[in-house]
Structure 1
Amino acid sequence: METTYSWETGGKGGTSRLLVGGIHGQEGSSTIKVIEVAKDISVPEGRWALYNFPPSPYLSTLDPLYYLSLAGSKLVSIIQENKPDIFLELHCYHPDSYFKLTKGDRKDFFGVPGLVELENGVLMGSVSPLIRSVFFALNDFPFVLEIPCNPSKEALKSCQRIMEIIASSSNRREILQKLGQIYPRQVQQLDDYFKEYTENFHPAFVEIKKRAMETDLKSYQDLDKLITEVVKQEDYDLNLRQIKQLEGAFLIFKEYSSFWCCKTAQI
């Protein structure tokens, strides 16, 4: 089955919406089914761009090296080109990965909170902080949908409902308001995660970028020292995994900041 796909509708101006699936491993054979559903959804204004990637070596999006790989650099290029206000990253998971993705202490092990199940095995959460902090403004809506691999009709129907909300909304607030009418408990949990991000990881990253411009960083040790100082002085509530992700996000920022980049890639 052909999984490589790109399609867009709408013109310049208005809300930029971007959906990308199959960004690592063999996930594209499942996410293409969601992309095909999305193609038939109309948008009242703005842009609706859809991409599905061909198979590639599996590398976690929580690993900074992913964004230096062929697939990762292609993803970044598409984000840079579209500058989305709303970004949906589609993944699929096997049943034995469900607990790993949703467990309450996921942040302790992977630096990110557990995904939240909406219904029919469809999970939702934020994209990797490695790109959330670099390529998106704070109030953009970059998020992940994890669907079961080889999704059921019910799971695809749930995805369709979510994407129809995305298509008819122009910002984060509208999306969460509409989703909250259907999934109130889950949206409250996602909103709590966002609040934690806005109070800790995001301001820490902004401060690190600011101080880096004023500091002669000559080595990774210098960067590590700077990050440690920022987290300690500002008393950010970040665990060791998240502190390591701050380093990864900064290195990605440095790698791509010499190019024409997205909204928050410039200091």
Structure 2
Amino acid sequence: MENSPIFFADGADSKMIEAYKKAQETFKYFWREQSWEYRRIIPALTVSCVKVAFSQENPSSEDPIVEHMWINEIDFDGDNVKGYLINEPNELTNIQVGDYVEVPLNEISDWLFATPQKTKKSTGISKLFSSSADPLPKAYGGFTIQKMRSDMSKQERQDHDDAWQMDFGDFNDIEVVYEQKEHPENIVEHPMSKNMTEEFVKFLNEYPGELTHQDEKGLTLLHKETIAGNLSSVEIILEAGADKNIKTNTGKTALDFARQLNWEHLIPVFEK
């Protein structure tokens, strides 16, 4: 990341601070999944939110009041994370539920998304004893949640997961991309990026102006696909003749974002 992580002095132990750091380093995978979710006709995520550290001055102490709360309807421009607060603050008075939030990436403390799990079909005698209930949605990310789960007893973890109605899995083995164990290649590239190549080529042929269009922040399609880590899309855009040197309003090229977010598979594409 471009900026060093910020960790508020809120009494967090070293393992919780490490959880904040992991969340910031891996946020790019959350955003990649969320960016594809916005393109789906049928939603695939049951939960999608980001935890942010909010603070204000404490009149009775030198240390600020700090609360880590969740936002949803996430957007990301490569530098700042945006969304709407979904928690009721306990002590803070400078923010409330529903407020629009925009913070630098280095001020998030966690992220979480969840997807439905496939129901395993039972056959023979196992079918007689299998539960008819669908499995709980599988959670990805949730580093601070997993840190807290690691401090719980087995029964406490079960009660916690039942309350969240999510399968958090093993707190020692946190997955960050969909079906990471079944398809390790998903770490490198989202399957939709590869599967949608024909449609994407067709889209650019029909709307060539999208190659040069810049939004209010100066972001082009190339910038946005780079921020989301989509190799196939980036290659198609470049092959279609996009200028890789176009800069945003803050003076950043697509390569700058690839380096900033540490998308290692994209950097060589721009350095050719």
TM-score of the pair, normalised by structure 1: 0.28
**Greater share of helix:** 1
TM-score of the pair, normalised by structure 2: 0.27
Identify the structure with bigger relative contact order (alpha carbons < 8 Å, sequence gap 6+).
1
